[in-house]
Amino acid sequence: MKITETKIPDVKLIEPKVFGDKRGFFMETWNEKTFKEADINAIFVQDNHSRSVKNTLRGLHYQIKQPQGKLVRVTCGEVFDVAVDLRPNSPSFGQWVGEYLSEENNRMLWVPPGFAHGFLVTSGTADFQYKCTDFYSPEYERSIAWDDPTLSVNWCVTSVNQLLLSDKDKNAKSFKQAEEEIKAYY
């Protein structure tokens, strides 16, 4: 497994070794020892799987209490995956990193607790799977607007009119509106 830092060092890009032949392939997606050697000390308590159609944008989601670390991957299709640093004492507070994850490249992304997370489906459909370090708690879940001008995430979107958003994501707060609450909890 190759684990490298992104432009935000705590967010890690993971590229598993894939062993394939005419029968198919095998790859290891989690190895506690290997991940600990890369400073990923995670205990996972919940696995999630979502399927979304092209142009679905989910995020930017986070929890003010019980922040979740996420090990994310795509098993069918492709997404552009984004993590935003919400840790007020971090030198990268308010910065984002994005990576393409797909069934072809088999890449995974480690998004530590204290980050907002979102993704845009760039293929016809995508199956997105992720392991979480804490349980989902709807009462603590928050969203930051995907198109927040302070964050300036480059989603590589050609037409915003084609995006498919939940009501929660359509009505998400700006980063500036969320900042006070974030600083109170993180």
What does the alpha-carbon distance between residue 147 and residue 152 come to, in Å, rounded to a whole number? 7
Amino acid at 36: K
117 is catalytic: no
SS3 state at 176: helix
Which residues, other chains included, contact 130 with Cβ-Cβ below 8 Å and sequence gap of 6+? 47, 48, 70, 71, 72, 73
61 is catalytic: yes
Instruction: Please identify which of the residues 49, 61, 117, 185 carries the catalytic annotation.
Output: 61
The token duo for 29 is: 């997606």
The token duo for 160 is: 């915003």
Which residues, other chains included, contact 142 with Cβ-Cβ below 8 Å and sequence gap of 6+? 61, 62, 63, 64, 173, 178, 181
Which residues, other chains included, contact 102 with Cβ-Cβ below 8 Å and sequence gap of 6+? 74, 77, 78, 79, 123
The token duo for 59 is: 């995020």
Residue whose structure tokens are 């997606």: 29
Residue 110 CA, distance from chain mean position: 8
Instruction: Please identify which of the residues 62, 100, 117, 130 carries the catalytic annotation.
Output: 130
Q: Give catalytic residues, as residue numbers.
A: 61, 130
